[in-house]
Each structure stands twice: as C-alpha cells, then as structure tokens.
C-alpha cells in the first residue's frame, strides 16, 4: 500500500488545504460566509481573474513572466464593446461575430508580445510590461478616457442567467479551464511548456523549437486574456481604459499562491484555480467578517506569504532569485 | 575645538552678510534703469500666452476641464491649439518643472491655470509664477495657510469644491427613499483622499437627523467599478436583507454596485452617487440612481484660465477684489430624477456657452477652513 502522508503529497495538496482552512476560519467568524449565494458571489469575482491567471500560468510554467495582462484586457474589452455596438449592439443581430474576432485579436497581441521577447531578445518581463502600457494607451486613445456601456440582455445573460445557483459565466470559465487543462496535459505544446521551463538548454538539445514554443505560449496567454475581457464586460456591462487594472497583482499572486513555481516547470492550471479561489475567498471573507479597511491590505499580504510558504516545495530549489 | 567652531561660524556669518549686501547693491543697480520705464507697464501684459497644468487626459473629468479652457481661448478669437497643456502625470516635480519651463519660454508674459497635483506643491508653483511676473489661478490643491492675498496680484485666485454638503443632500434623498428607516452601506473612495473623507462626512451629518437608519459599514472601493461590484457582493453576504440603501462616493462605484445587484436579481435598491457623469445622469433618468452631483468641470476649466488671463491683461486688479473673489467654492448641481432631463439638455447634450467675464456668477461662496 503506497503511503499517503508523504512530504510530496503534503506539498501537492497544501494550497487546497489552505483554501479549506480559510473557508473554515471565515465561516467560524460569520456563518453566512458558508452559503451557496456567497459562493456564487465569490465565483463571479473569480471568473475573469481565473482566465487571466490561467493565461499567465503557461508563461510562468515556461519560466518566463507576462505582465501585459492589464493593458491587453483593457484594450480587448474596449474593442469588444466598440465592435459589438458597430455590429448592431446585440448578440442576435450579428454581434456574436465580435467574440471570435476579439479572441483572435487577443492571440495576435500575445504573438506580438512573444515576437518582441524572442526575436528582439528582450526579457519577457520588460517586453510584456511595455506592451501592456501600449495596450492601456491604445484603450485611452480609443475611448478618450470615457466609459463604453454595453448592455445587450442576451449577452448579459452570462451574469444574470443562473444554473444551479451559479451564473452562466462561471460555467464558461469552467469550460475554458478544462480546455486549458487539455492543452497542458494532452497536447505536445503543453508538454513542451514544461520541457522549456524545466531546462531550456536540455529542451533545445532534445529538438524542441524553443522559440516557437515561447511565441505560441504568449499567444495562448493573449487568447485567455481576451476571454477574461469578454467575461469582465459581461460582469460590469461596460469597458474603459482601466477595465484591466488590478489583474496583474491578482493573477500573479494567485498563480504563486496556488503552488506554481515562478522559476518554471512546476504546477499547472489546477494549482492556478485553487490560487485564484484563495485570493477571491480572502478578499470576500475580509469584508464578510467585518475586518476594518485599514487592516485588509496588510492581512492580504500576510496571508499570501503564509500560503506561499505552505504551498511551494522550497527544498527542491537551490536558490530563489 | 569649541573656539574653532565659534570662529568658523563667525567668519562664515560675516562672509554671508557681505555677500548679501553686495548682491543687494548689484540688484539695486540693475533696477535703476527700469525704475522709469518698465515698472508701471508691468501690470498689464498685452497678449499673454495661456496654459493649463493638470494631471492626465485619461479621465472624463480632466478632458472636460480642458474643453472649458479651449472654449475660453476660442472666445478670445484664438485657435484651440493656443491653449498649452502642461500634463504632470501625477508628479508634483513635473508640475513645477513644466510651469518653470513655460515661464522661461514666455519670459513671464503668460497666464496659467493649474491644479498643483498635491497641496504642498502649490506654494513653490505660485512663488515661481510671481517671481516671473506672470499670473496664475489654481484649483483643488493648496495648503490652508497659502492665500492669494498674501502672495499678491500675481496669484489671482483659488477655487475648490466642498463635497460635504452635497453628499449630505444625496444622503437625505436616499434616506427619504428608504422611508426613514433601515440599513445603509457606504462605498467610498481611496481612504486618504480629501473628497472621499468629505463625502463620508456628509453621509454621517445626514444620519444625525435619521435615528432609525443605521450605517452598517463604510469601506473604500477606491473610486473603482470592479472594486465596487466585489465590495457590494461581500456586503450582501454580510448584511443580506438588512441593506435597504446604498451611498456611493462616486458614479464609477455606483455602476459596480448596480451590476452586483443585477447579478442577484435585486432591481429597486435606492442608490445615490456623485460626479454627474453622463452615464450616471442617464441612470438617474432611468430611475436606477436616485441622485448624483455635478461639479461643472467645463466651467471650472474655462473660468480658471479666464481669471488668470484677465488679471494679466489688467482687465481687473485682483487686490481690489473682496476675499470671496480670491478664494471660493465651485458650483455643485444636484441631479435628481425630476430635473435630470433638463440637466441633460442644458449641460450634456450641448455644451452651454458661458460668459467668461462673469468670473464669480456660478461660484459658491468663500472657502471656509476648519
């Protein structure tokens, strides 16, 4: 009989245990935390953030970093609203065309990001940060600083139509998560991400076209950012040049808290799901238990550090940079 | 040792005194040629260059301020481009550096409208303008101890907006809609921002007259729509049906609150907001918002530039004006359902044309310090 309580297992399940512990803690202080309605609220808050975090997971698994998410989400959200309105303003009137177009735009921006990083040999940190600023700037240029409202009831059904108490957008996010898991575990591209993240020279020597894998990874991330943008528009009924703000902190924190190692090769989209839920539960729970606002930022920071300590196998790496 | 230090200080003091005396003598000599010609004419600049110094172009608010400035320069028969934008991007250092560069470029023959970005930056800015012999009017940021009449004619005026009273008015409208009883939550701006503090204070003032209404909680939503939805969702878990009214610190937060309630299928929650943005006015007309407050940034942008310009040309002399014309509150217009349509027609559908020589008509009395 294999031992269940190994060190490896403990670390693998640590993020999930942290999530359960948080739920128990918040429920103990305010029992109304543990209700289906509250879980639906947490799920709505987490759905767009999950898509951003899943996108950046592929990049982090490769050992790179992508910081373009805020600009890309803002730009694709604004473009999505403009395109929808130009196509008649409703899904039924032909506006659905905007969805594949915007997903393609997201992937194309990601490809440009990857191209700048790989071909111009600029570190991914800098290339993606710069491209993110370009995205925000373009969104400001398009909107002139104003808000674009988009309120087609059919499209907003993503928020308002509930199945088993959860809005449609939560199921859409779930399906996209399964798609991401499939790419990660059942495609050659997914395995190459791990190969590149585990040891780039080795992957190269084994015949993996590392540059192509990197560009494909950034393009895939851009695709998921565009999904996040569409869900965010569904959630808020509007887009503006700040629609993507806060996603950078939220997604990178979630990925790390979930147990994906920033040095690459370790973790995957399920870790990211747990990480996003941990951050969303903390954000919701702090208000639900009535924590004073001046303590919230500090408590969030502390909980993140604790979660990272518990959920990453730091003995496995020689040094942390 | 101590004598050495004493001697040193003495020597340095004497040196500095000599230096100052020499400088004063030099300056005096320089001033003599101007004593007969330049002095009197200095008060009037025939065609001053005009600049607006402000934070950024990514917000509806500042865009509206600049549109007012442009409307003013067009009223002088100039092109829009003749209004110079000095964008500080949220940096006080850049704000001061840009203004000094503009003063140098125009040789002090200019009129500047300015939000100094933060309060302490206002003093170096207005002193630089005075030393160059130019004219400036400021809005929003200045410290309480800095007054135009202490600096002189070159610091023409300061305008700010008091949010406490209008926020109290919106709270009263909210409480009446709640039937004078129940629970209210406040979703605020960034906690340390002055308008955020004033808008919460306004709510608290109104609460004193409504003993049956309880303030359940007040938390910051950082002026942000996304934060607004998530905070409202958490409030719903914590207080549930006890929430019978929502007081928002600005329109953007209110948009988020409405979406959080829409997700729950809650349709007719009484909500009030602040800022009078076009989308919010439309929500007031649709009955989704009870009230919002408009501060007329277009007028503010135009009149601030106009005050500096006409003081520079000598059309009026600031020191001859009463104090309430040097430091005053800007206009606030309460927008409720019954006047929203009129308001939209008057202010939003077509930008009204203002008389830019009526400096103080829409203003709201002298600034009071606590």
- The verdict on A84 touching B (C-beta cutoff 8 Å) is no
CA-to-CA distance for B362 and B356, rounded, in angstroms?
Answer: 11
φ, ψ (nearest 5 deg) of residue B58:
-90, 10
Contact B238 A30 (CB under 8 A): yes
Rg (CA), chain A: 20
| Chain B residues with beta carbon closer than 8 angstroms to that of A78 | none
Q: What is the pLDDT of residues B65-82, one digit of tens each?
A: 999 999 999 999 999 999
Mean pLDDT of the A272-297 span? 92
- The verdict on A6 touching B (C-beta cutoff 8 Å) is no
With bands split at pLDDT 50, 70 and 90, how would you rate the model's confidence at B39?
very low
Answer yes or no: is pLDDT of A316 > 50: yes
| Chain B residues with beta carbon closer than 8 angstroms to that of A240 | 225
Is the residue at A273 inside a domain?
no
Q: Identify the residue with better confidence: B171 or A314.
A: B171
Q: What is the pLDDT of residues A35-87, one digit of tens each?
A: 999 999 999 999 999 999 999 999 999 999 999 999 999 999 999 999 999 99
CA-to-CA distance for A244 and A49, rounded, in angstroms?
Answer: 10
| Chain B residues with beta carbon closer than 8 angstroms to that of A144 | 63
With bands split at pLDDT 50, 70 and 90, how would you rate the model's confidence at B61?
confident
Q: Give me A56's structure tokens.
A: 């950046």
- Locate the chain A residue with the closest alpha carbon to B263: A160
Of the listed ranges B187-201, B213-227, B251-265, the one predicted with least confidence: B187-201
Partnered with residue B336 across adjacent β-strands are: B291
Contact A147 B277 (CB under 8 A): yes
Domain with residues B49-160+296-330, CATH architecture: 3-Layer(aba) Sandwich (3.40)
Partnered with residue B157 across adjacent β-strands are: B137
With bands split at pLDDT 50, 70 and 90, how would you rate the model's confidence at B364?
confident
**Helices within chain B (DSSP H only):** 2-36, 38-41, 60-75, 92-106, 122-132, 148-151, 164-177, 194-207, 225-239, 251-263, 278-285, 297-312, 337-343
Of B80, B63, B53, the C-alpha closest to A147 is: B63
In total, the C-beta contacts within 8 angstroms joining chain A to chain B are 94
Is the residue at A82 inside a domain?
yes
CA-to-CA distance for B13 and A205, rounded, in angstroms?
Answer: 75
Q: Phi-psi region for residue A271, left (φ > 0), alpha (ψ -120 to 50) or beta?
A: alpha
Q: Give me A262's structure tokens.
A: 């920033």
Is the residue at A3 inside a domain?
no
Please name the residues between 107 and 146 in chain A that touch chain B, using a CB distance below 8 Å. Answer: 140, 144-146
SS3 B216: strand
Is the residue at A320 inside a domain?
no
Of B218, B220, B105, B203, the C-alpha closest to B163 is: B203
Q: Which residues, at least 6 apart from A93, have a Cβ–Cβ distance to it below 8 Å?
A: A87
Contact B57 A145 (CB under 8 A): yes
Is the residue at A39 inside a domain?
no
Contact B240 A287 (CB under 8 A): no
Instruction: Label the pairing between strands B110-114 and B135-139.
Output: parallel
Of A17, A63, A38, the C-alpha closest to A284 is: A38
Q: What is the pLDDT of residues B327-354, one digit of tens each?
A: 999 999 999 999 999 999 998 888 889 9
Mean pLDDT of the B8-25 span? 64
Locate the domains of chain B by residue range: 49-160+296-330, 164-294
Is the residue at A151 inside a domain?
yes
- Nearest-by-Cβ selection for A293 from B220, B237, B256: B220
CA-to-CA distance for A75 and B309, rounded, in angstroms?
Answer: 39
With bands split at pLDDT 50, 70 and 90, how would you rate the model's confidence at A309?
confident
Distance from the B234 Cα atom to the nearest Cα atom in chain A, whole angstroms = 5
Q: What is the pLDDT of residues B244-301, one digit of tens each?
A: 999 999 999 999 999 999 999 998 999 999 999 889 999 999 999 999 999 999 999 9
Q: Which residues, at least 6 apart from B109, have a Cβ–Cβ distance to it below 8 Å?
A: B45, B47, B48, B49, B134
The answer to whether the CB of A222 falls within 8 A of the CB of A107 is yes
Domain residues for the domain of A223 are 55-251+262-268
Q: Rounded to whole angstroms, what are the CA distances from B361 to B75, B124, B235?
A: 18, 30, 43
| Chain A residues with beta carbon closer than 8 angstroms to that of B277 | 147
Is the residue at A45 inside a domain?
no
- Locate the chain B residue with the closest alpha carbon to A38: B237
With bands split at pLDDT 50, 70 and 90, how would you rate the model's confidence at B35?
very low
| Equal fold, B49-160+296-330 vs B164-294 | yes
- Locate the chain A residue with the closest alpha carbon to B233: A41
Instruction: Pick from B57, B61, B193, B238 the residue to mutate for testing the A interface (most A CBs within 10 Å).
Output: B238
Q: Hunting for tokens 């080795």 — which residue is that?
A: A202
Is the residue at A281 inside a domain?
no
What ipTM did this prediction achieve?
0.89
Answer yes or no: is pLDDT of B25 > 80: no
Give me the CATH topology for the region B164-294.
Rossmann fold (3.40.50)
How many domains does chain A divide into?
1
The answer to whether the CB of B239 falls within 8 A of the CB of B257 is no
CA-to-CA distance for B227 and B224, rounded, in angstroms?
Answer: 5
Contact A147 B58 (CB under 8 A): no
The answer to whether the CB of A250 falls within 8 A of the CB of A49 is yes
């Amino acid at each position: 009989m294999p031992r269940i309580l190994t060190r490896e297992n403990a670390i693998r399940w640590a993020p999930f245990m942290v999530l359960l512990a948080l739920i128990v803690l918040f429920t103990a202080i305010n029992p109304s935390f543990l209700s289906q309605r509250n879980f639906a609220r947490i799920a709505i808050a987490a759905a767009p953030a999950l898509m951003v975090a899943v996108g950046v997971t592929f990049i982090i698994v490769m050992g790179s970093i992508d910081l373009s998410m805020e600009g890309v989400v803002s730009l694709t959200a604004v473009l999505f609203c403009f395109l929808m309105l130009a196509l008649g303003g409703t899904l039924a009137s032909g506006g659905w065309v905007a969805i594949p177009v915007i997903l393609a735009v997201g992937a194309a921006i990601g490809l440009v990001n990857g191209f700048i990083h790989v071909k111009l040999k600029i570190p991914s940190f800098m290339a993606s940060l710069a491209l993110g600023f370009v995205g925000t700037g373009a969104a400001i240029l398009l909107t002139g600083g104003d808000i674009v409202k988009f309120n087609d009831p059919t499209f907003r059904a993503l928020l308002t139509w509930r199945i088993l108490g959860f809005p449609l957008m939560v199921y859409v996010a779930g399906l996209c998560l399964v798609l991401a898991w499939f790419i990660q575990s059942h495609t050659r591209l997914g395995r190459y991400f791990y190969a590149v993240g585990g040891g780039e020279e080795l992957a190269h020597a084994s015949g993996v076209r590392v540059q192509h894998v990197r560009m494909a990874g950034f393009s895939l991330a851009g695709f998921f950012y565009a999904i996040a943008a569409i869900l965010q528009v569904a959630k808020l009924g509007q887009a503006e040049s700040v629609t993507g703000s806060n996603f950078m902190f939220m997604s990178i924190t979630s990925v790390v808290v979930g147990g994906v190692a920033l040095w690459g090769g370790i973790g995957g989209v399920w870790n990211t799901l747990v990480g996003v839920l941990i951050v969303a539960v903390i954000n919701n729970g702090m208000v639900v238990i009535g924590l004073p606002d001046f303590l919230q930022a500090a408590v969030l920071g502390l909980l993140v550090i604790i979660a990272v300590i518990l959920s990453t196998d730091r003995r496995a790496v020689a040094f942390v940079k | 040792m101590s004598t050495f230090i004493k001697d040193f200080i003495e020597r340095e003091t004497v040196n500095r005194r000599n230096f100052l005396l020499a400088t004063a003598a030099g300056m005096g000599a320089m001033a003599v040629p101007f004593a007969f010609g330049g002095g009197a004419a200095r008060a009037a600049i025939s065609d001053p260059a005009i600049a607006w110094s402000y934070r950024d172009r990514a917000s509806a608010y500042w865009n509206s301020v600049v549109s007012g400035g442009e409307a003013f320069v067009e009223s002088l028969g100039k092109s829009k481009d003749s209004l110079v934008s000095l964008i500080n991007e949220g940096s006080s250092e850049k704000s001061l550096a840009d203004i000094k560069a503009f003063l140098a470029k125009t040789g002090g023959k200019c009129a500047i409208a300015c939000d100094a970005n933060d309060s302490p930056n206002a003093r170096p800015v207005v002193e630089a303008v005075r030393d160059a012999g130019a004219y400036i009017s400021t809005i929003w940021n200045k410290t309480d101890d800095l007054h135009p009449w202490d600096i002189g004619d070159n610091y023409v005026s300061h305008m700010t907006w008091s949010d406490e009273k209008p926020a109290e008015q919106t709270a009263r409208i909210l409480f009446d809609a709640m039937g004078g009883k129940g629970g209210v939550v406040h979703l605020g701006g960034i906690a340390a921002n002055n308008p955020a503090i004033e808008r919460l204070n306004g709510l608290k003032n109104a609460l004193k007259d409504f003993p049956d209404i309880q303030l359940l909680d007040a938390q910051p939503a950082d002026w942000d729509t996304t934060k607004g939805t998530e905070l409202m969702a958490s409030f719903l878990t914590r207080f549930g049906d006890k929430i019978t009214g929502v007081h928002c610190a600005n329109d953007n937060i209110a948009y988020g609150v409405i979406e959080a309630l829409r997700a729950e299928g809650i349709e007719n929650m009484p909500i009030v907001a602040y800022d009078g943005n076009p989308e919010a006015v439309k929500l007031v007309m649709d009955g989704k918002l009870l009230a919002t407050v408009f501060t007329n940034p277009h007028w503010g942008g135009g009149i601030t530039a106009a005050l500096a310009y006409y003081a520079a040309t000598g059309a009026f002399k600031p020191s001859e004006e009463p104090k309430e014309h040097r430091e005053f509150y800007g206009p606030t217009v309460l927008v409720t359902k019954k006047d929203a349509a009129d308001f939209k027609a008057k202010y939003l559908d077509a930008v009204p044309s203002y008389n830019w020589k009526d400096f103080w008509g829409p203003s709201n009395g002298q600034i009071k310090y606590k």
